[in-house]
Structure 1
Amino acid sequence: MKKSYILAVCAALASTVLAGCGPADENTDVLKPDLTEAVTEAETTEETAAETTAAETSETVSETTTVETTAVSETTAAEETTAAEETKAAETEKQEEKAPEDNGGSENQGGDNKPSDGEPQSGSFGDDDLTFTFGGSSVTVGKDLSAFKAAVAPSSEDTAPSCLGNGEDSICTFDHFTINGYTENGQCIATAIDLTDSEVSTSKGIKLGSSKDDVIKAYGTGYTERGSEIVYVSGKSELAFRISGDEVKGISYNFSIL
């Protein structure tokens, strides 16, 4: 029982003792109202205090919950924002890495068959590697040379009777390369193509000055060695690279008409 309730009861008892000298009925009448009123007042005070405490506790819990909820929401929002920024940064980096490759591919399309500045292509040797392209026109050893000569006029052309005893041999000189031809019955067949400087390259980017390793990476290990040359052969045609000091010093496409 709370202190205020005890004090009220004590006060009522004291009043009863002091009134003891009067008649018993009068004392009883005085005691009952005073005692009842004191007890009621003490109980009311106690209930009010309890309700006030409960209200304060509820308000405190509510404020604490609100603060905690706000903190959790702010933390979650911050984490989501950070994750989104990191994802966007990663995507941007990938796009920047990819852009130079795309631009390089566009710059090397068409043109005059100049080699790209990138690494030589990887692969193996095939019949397509016997074709040389310059200025958008192509010529293949063992095939008719007439259309290529019409599209890319040589700077000079020398002819002589064929050493085979039939037809005519010719040497056509172009900027950066020469082509040997054999003419018989009105058809000129390309028998050799020699690249003369590093301004032109093979279809896989090999040029004068490339390394032996570059050649093997581009055309594979299916070659034969012939003196200082490594040679890739397909039927009567071949692609030969003359190597000196681990560097490409000569590139020739050849076709045997025999």
Structure 2
Amino acid sequence: MTMMERAAEEPQVTYKRVLLKISGEALMGDQGYGLHPPTVARIAQEVKSVHDLGVEICMVIGGGNIFRGLAGSAQGMERTTADYMGMLATVMNALAMQSALEALDIHTRVISAIPMDQVCEPYIRRRAVRHLEKARVVIFAAGTGNPYFTTDTAATLRANEMTCQAIFKGTKVDGVYDKDPKKHADAKRYDVVSYDEVLQKHLGVMDASAIALARDNNLPIIVFSLDEPGGFRGILAGRGTYTLVKG
């Protein structure tokens, strides 16, 4: 195969730098708690397939599979302490994903908003941008480093700081619906929905702070199914089923 033919076979990607946001629960597989290594490895393979297209990728992973600050607070734990525990859970998930990506020969950096130099790098914006420019996958951990902010808000903040062209929100369903498709057979999926409509109808894409921050900076959010093999790569190549949230 000639170089020209090989280039013709490669799909033309829509975005050159993106942030992938997934929940901690996405790493559980069919378990009720913790990490499921085969599931982590499968998601890492999805990331690699996009990285192989030359797309610069950063990630934010939630911590709900290990500890959720809001749930701890609801059970009587002091909210700030509970939120910091949740942030530490995201570091554990980030390290697990880093290990899975490096097993695929993808250079990866975990960058934490809470300094813990023995296990990951502290957050320095210019350094993080440089990692992306060097084709390293960057995983942002510990949220924003502040209590009362979710990893959704952290994802939107980091995506803006890294000048990402879009946020990809990997979920259990293939987009945003007007009601829960697992409970309602007549649920309708949106192809495109506005930030304001997401907020007004409480569509549950991300929390209100994250949506408002994306809207204020005109940052599109693409909601897709992380369970669909090749879905992440397909959307970047202009295929697949998803919902686009934009202005």
Please state which structure has a larger fraction of its residues in strand: 1
TM-score bracket, normalised by the shorter chain, equals: under 0.3
Normalising by structure 2, what TM-score?
A: 0.25
TM-score (norm 1): 0.25
Give 1 or 2 for the bigger CA radius of gyration: 1
Q: Which has the higher contact order (CA 8 A, sep 6+)?
A: 2
